[in-house]
Structure formats: C-alpha cells, structure tokens
Structure 1
Amino acid sequence: MENLSENIQTLFSYDTELSADSVEWCPHEPHQNVFVCANYQLEEKRDDHLESTVVHRTRKGRVLLFSITADNGLKLHETVNCPAVLDQKWCHERVNDSSHLGVVNANKEVTIFKLNVEGTSLETATTCNVDSDESETLVLSLDWSTGIYQSNEPEIICSDSKGNIHLLHLCGDSLQLIDTWNAHKFEAWIAAFYYWNTNIIFSGGDDSMFLKFDKRVGNQPVSRNRSHGAGVTSIHSNKSKEFIVATGSYDEYVRIWDTRNMKSEMSSIKMPGTLWRLKWDPFLQTHLLAACMLGGVHILNVQDIERMKIVGSYYEHKNIAYGADWCYSNKEFCDNFDGPGSSILGTCSFYDHLLCISKFDGIDVK
C-alpha cells in the first residue's frame, strides 16, 4: 500500500506562540511567496471576590506576515496585533493595483489590509463593524466575489456566531455593510460566493444546513439541503468548472455538488477527521486541500468526481489542524527547495501553535 505521508515533506516549521487557525498565500505576482498566518487566543483572568468569582475573557489575535525564499528560508516580516482572528482571505485579484487581505475577528469586525509594494508590511485600509448588538459576536468566515471576475469595487460575504450572513461592499478605502440577514439557528460557520455568478451565495451552519441564496430574490434561501450529518464548516466554488462546489462538514465527509441539482451531492468521501477548511488548488482546480482538525491534513484528487481519492496525507500537526492553503507559485519556484514535488502548502494547528510549510509531490503544476 502506498504511504501517502511520503508525498508531503516539511520544508519549514515555526512556533507561532499563540494558537494558530488560518494560513493564506498571496495570489499575486511578484508576492506569491508571501503568506499570512493568523492567531486566536482565549485568555481568562479570574477576579476573586468575597461572594463570587468573576472570569474576564479576552480573545487576542495577531496576523503574522511571512515569506519564503531559497536564500532566506522562512522569514517573519511583521506582526499585526488585533482581536482574535477567525478567518482571513486575500482578494483573488488586485484592487486598484494593490493586494488586499480581508480579516474577520472576534470583535464583530471585518478589516481590510493592503500589502505594501515590497511585500513586507500590511497597512490597515478600512474596518467595518457588522453588528451593533452589545452581546458578543464572532465573525467566523469571509469570501471575496472575485474568484473569476475582477472588480475594483468587490463584495465580501461573511458569517457570524449568531447565524447571520453579512454582505459588504469595498469602494476605495471605504467598506460598507450592504445587508445582514439571519440564515442559521446556530453558528454560521461558513459563507461563500458562487464565483460563476456572484448573485448566488452559499452558507453552512452548525444546524447542519447547507443553504443557497440569490441576492436578486431577497434573503430567503432558494434551496435548503439537509444531507450533512453535522455542522457545515467549509464551502468552496470551483473557478475552472462551472456548477461545481465542494463542502466539508463535522460529519467527516467531503461532498461535491452540482449547483443545478442541490437535492443530493454528486459524490462524497469520508475523511480521516472532521473538516474545517477545503481549498481547490489554484492551478487546475482538480485537487482539494483539506484540513481535518484532529485527523491531519490531506489532499484529494477530484479529477474523476465519482472516484475521489486521497493522494497525500500530512500528520505533522499533533493538534487541531485548522489552517491550510496552497502556494500559488509555479514549479520553477518550488524547485528551489529541497525534495520532490511541484507545489507548496501552508498549514497550521491550534493548541500546539505550529505553522508548517511543506512540499507536495502529486500534482501537475507548470
């Protein structure tokens, strides 16, 4: 039997000090060797009084900006302190010639950063608070509308711990909240655009519901799917294959959907652990990178949708593997680093605050 762990070899590892939950590579040349890793740390302070004990909780975060090169290895350029980060995504295309990073946090905020020309620093462009309620709200996920269609005024969709979905519009350095609606009974773990038609928005929640919305007809879902056996945690539209969307769930299954028939999935595969993040590869969109929490990180070959199979496994993360992303750099760049393989991955895990950069041998990258 093939040892799938041999297909992924570690290049660098790094102790992020605080719990790590997200890795995202910049998609734009010449900074495709640049990435961010985010932290989420819950700190508790106890105040003991004569009659009671009060526990004060602070959700602390950071965004760490790194690069990798053959000469300098893994290099930390900047640490941005902020409220605890739940998710972050680079805008797929440049906005007004700048690389933009969207970050959502535990303080009800969506913040947009710009990467400087040298790729060594993040500048805060704008921040929007999505909830005026005094109770705690964690913004859990975000996605940009630019998976296929470039825009200098893109939209952002995000989800929160109250089950709400928020639609925002970036215009210049102004981020405006356009609409908010309640979608799920419990946490809305994920919201994502259908890249082929960004009027279509998907969401997944802890109520096990996979919902499809159409902005043109209001805020009620146009389809409700109950196929997932537990919370829906990840949704990613395929930018090369129209109608194809992947979902991941706490029920340990990856499912592939045809948006023309949302009653049941095209195919599914049981993974070695509960899903948190799914990412189509940025090259041909034939492989999925899956962060499976306590079950490791894995790569699925989805060229034949009916016969999906795991082709790479990574078990360096001994704790909850939340973050996973593909580096956009080509094979020529990857060849500068030791070992076989034509693609580079970034992954991170939570309580052991471990960031790993590795090399995958098993995908055709030009």
Structure 2
Amino acid sequence: MASFDTGFPADSLEFCPSPLASDIVACGTYKLDNDTFSAENERTNQQHRRGQCLIFRVQSNETSDKLSIEKMQECDLAAVLDMKWCHLGETSQPLLAVADSMANITLHQLNTSEKRLSQIERIQCATSDVLCLSLDWSNRLRPQSSPGCLIVSLSNGSLCLLRPTQTSHLALTETWHAHDYEPWIAAWNYWDINIIYSGGDDLRLLAWDIRQGFAKPVHINKRFDAGVTSIQSHPHIENIFAVGSYDHKIRIFDARKPSVPLAQADAGGGVWRLKWHPSSTRRNDVLVASMHDGFKIVSFDLDISIDQLPTGAKFTRRFDEHKSLAYGADWSYAPSGSRGTIIGSCSFYDHTLHLWRG
C-alpha cells in the first residue's frame, strides 16, 4: 500500500488507459474557500471553489508487493468534480478531460516522456455559476487517433453534448434540460453510442437517443429510493450497465430490459462511483466507492443469458484505510500480477489518496 496527502479534499481519480502511460494516475480535488456556509450561498454559487488536477507516477514491485507513488505535477484549476481519460490509439498522446465548478470542460494532453499535462482547450458549457458534475467519452470501445464525443451533466439539471469539429478538439453542440434536480451522472452506452444514460437527485434513471432529439427520454426508470449517482456501461459485455445510488444499492441492468435490474447488491454507505474491471478476465468485478462505508470489490455472475438471473453478488475485497467520504476510485490498466490489480482510491475531508491491490 502507498498513500499521499492531496492537500485539498480529493473526489476524483482516474488511471491512464494508454500503454504509453499506464503508470500514470490523475487525482482531482475540490476546495471550498468560504469560511461561512449557507444554503443560499451554495445555491447562488457565491462561494469560491478551487481545485487541482494532480498527476502521479505509480511504481510497483511484484516480488515484494510494494507500491510507491510520486507526484509529477499539480495543475491549478477551479474545483474538479470529475475527470476521464479518452481512449485513443496506442501511439496517441493521452488526453484527459476535466469537469470543473465554473462550467468548464478543460482538455489536457499528457507528454508521456515528461509525465506532464498541458492544457490544450477549454469549453464553457454554461454560465460560471453552474457546475459540471460528470463527464464521459463515447469511444471507450473504439480507440482512435482523435477524441470521441463527450457527454456532460450540469448542476442546473441539464446535459450537454460536445462533439469533435474540424477546427477544434470539441465544441458544444446540444444542451437540454434532463432532470429536475442535480444530474450527478451522465454516461454513454459504449456498445451503442447513440444512447446516453443519466441519473440524478430526482430519483430517475433516464435513457436518451441522440437520433431522436432531446425533447424527452426514450426510457424512464423511477424505481430508486434515493438519487442516482453513478452509471457505467460494461466494457466487455454488450447491453450490460451498472448503476449506483445514494440508496446504497448497486444495480446491474440489461439495456434491452432497463426497467428491472438483473441483479443488485447493498454496498452500504451510499454508492458514489462504480468501475468495471478493465480486463475481460475479470469482467464480473466492480470497484465501488461507498461514501460512508469505504471501498470494496463486488463480483456478479454475469456469464449467463438474459433469460437467467445472476446468482447474486459476492463482496471479495474491502479497503477501510480512508477516514472520510469515499469518492474517487479506479483500477490500473497496467498488467495485473499474482497479487492483484493496482487500485487507487481517494477520500474527501482527510484529503488522502491510497494505492492498494484487489
């Protein structure tokens, strides 16, 4: 295990998927500077939020199981709420998209020799009193030399779609009202990138088809007991996607029958992030950040047909070294050794990043 004090509260963590930089992990932080908090100030965004994108190099010793972490760079930004690396071709320089508290999406290119980011573009998605809450790239299953599309959720209830153009990496092309309260998450169906999923504090999971416009969703699921916080399409099994909620539950859905989950498990503590394992050999494993109950790995039996129900979920590992809200978590894309995959996790008020294996 290895640890690092991130300085500001940490809420987002993403390993680089590029084979040129599989030893790189990015961590986003969120600092509220105002000493006096009020609901009205929060609503009107009168507080000053700032953050950083921290770049670390991770090294491992398979023989001794020792992990080490070295900070390579810190980039000062508005407060960071989410980040995602774009899955590009193996020879392309890695590209990181960052969602911040002033409605910006910033794109940063990683120099793989120097292990440092350079900001190459900034896209304003709304007025500066709106927060970009989450983002997701469309091309997870189709790595290419240029970026895919980006879906972004905004604190005013809207979603916005950013597409590549001939003159820039990305441009804002559509914005539409999606949720009555904060849409904490928006994500693509990686197998059919005409479909976007979103979830929010209105207790709804929505599906949108970009071919049909954005006047109304193509599917609505209201069967949640609290806000929907996390969605990720399965990178190895078509039609399957995982959904997390403040109601503590992880739900596994089939896109062909999205009203009722195929399986579910109680993760405890309110689920903030879910990540499928990046390797097909561990396609049943989900990494979970449970806000008030630490980090854990849960395994679902998904090697079945749609007409069969999974036999249930098994929690195979938990990590309880964090002393505060469990927010950011990700699997490393580096080859897993006999001791398991490297995992990064970060927590908020104790501003801590941990590396461990699972």
* Mapped contact 2:105–2:124 kept (Cα < 8 A): yes
- Whether the aligned pair in 2 keeps the contact of 1:330 and 1:342 (CA below 8 Å) is no
- Correspondence for 1:154: 148
- Tell me the amino acid that sits aligned with residue 313 of structure 1: R
> Which residue of the partner structure matches residue 232 of structure 1?
228
Alignment of 1:136-147 (within 5 A): 136-147=129-140
Residue aligning to 2:292: 294
Q: Tell me which residue corresponds to 1:3.
A: none
The alignment's TM-score, normalised by the length of structure 2, stands at: 0.89
- Asked if 2 retains the 8 angstrom alpha-carbon contact of 1:345 and 1:358, the reply is yes
CA drift of 1:150 comes to: 2.5
Corresponding residue SS for 1:216: helix
Which residue of the partner structure matches residue 6 of structure 1?
none
Aligned residues: 333
Letter in 2 for 1:64: L
CA contact 2:20–2:90 (8 Å) conserved in 1: no
Asked if 1:36 corresponds to 2:26, the answer is yes
Contact 2:20–2:112 (CA under 8 A) maintained in structure 1: no
Task: Give yes or no for the alignment of 1:244 onto 2:237.
Answer: no
Query: Alpha-carbon deviation of 1:119?
Result: 5.1
**Kept in 2: contact 1:125–1:173 (CA 8 A):** no
* Aligned partner of 2:161 among 157, 160, 167: 167
Matched, 1:116 2:106: no
Runs of at least 5 residues in structure 2 that lack an aligned partner in the other structure: 37-44, 62-66, 303-309
Partner of 1:358: 356
Are 2:199 and 2:205, in contact at CA under 8 Å, matched by a contact in 1? yes
Return the offset for 1:93. Answer: 2.3
Residues of 2 paired with 1:96 and 1:175: CA distance?
20
Q: Is the 8 A contact 1:34 1:119 kept in 2?
A: no
Q: Which is worse superposed, 237-246 or 113-122?
A: 113-122
Q: What is the aligned-residue RMSD (CA, Å)?
A: 1.8
Identity, % of aligned pairs? 36
Q: Choose from 194, 201, 205 the match for 2:196.
A: 201
CA distance in 2, matches of 1:323, 1:17: 15
Matched to 1:85, the amino acid is V
CA distance in 1, matches of 2:60, 2:49: 36
The one-letter code matched in structure 2 to 1:145 is: S
Amino acid corresponding to residue 98 of structure 2 in structure 1: V
Q: Distance in 2 between matches of 1:322 and 1:66?
A: 18
| 1:95 to partner: Cα distance | 8.8
Q: 2:30 is paired with a residue of what secondary structure?
A: strand
Q: 1:306 aligns with which of 302, 311, 318?
A: 311
CA distance change for structure 1 residues 306 and 165 in 2, over 3 Å: closer, same or farther?
farther
Cα pair 2:26 2:54 within 8 Å, conserved: yes
User: Aligned partners of 1:240 and 1:250: how far apart in 2?
Assistant: 26
Alignment correspondent of 1:315: 320
Distance in 2, Cα, partners of 1:99 & 1:84 = 22
Selected match of 1:69 from 42, 59, 70: 59
| Larger mean Cα displacement after TM superposition, 321-330 or 64-73 | 64-73
> Does residue 21 of the first structure (1) align with residue 11 of the second (2)?
yes
Corresponding residue for 1:282?
278
Measured after TM superposition, the shift of residue 56 of structure 1 is 5.6
How far residue 98 of structure 1 moved from its aligned partner, in angstroms, is 1.7
Give the CA deviation at 1:303: 2.9
Counterpart Cα distance in 2 of 1:95 and 1:164: 34
Question: Which stretch of the first structure deviates more once superposed, 236-245 or 64-73?
Answer: 64-73
| AA matched with 2:353 | L
* Among candidates 72, 80, 86, match of residue 91 of structure 1: 86
Pick aligned residue for 1:348 from 338, 346, 349: 346
Aligned residue for 1:8?
none
For residues 98 and 267 of structure 2, the distance between their equivalents in structure 1, rounded to whole angstroms, comes to: 28
**Partner SS, residue 47 of structure 2:** strand
CA distance in 2, matches of 1:302, 1:199: 27
Aligned counterpart in structure 2 of residue 268 of structure 1, from 243, 264, 267:
264
Give, in whole Å, the separation in 1 of the partners of 2:301 and 2:180.
35
Matched, 1:178 2:206: no
Number of the residue aligned with 2:210: 215
Deviation at residue 73 of structure 1 after TM alignment: 2.5
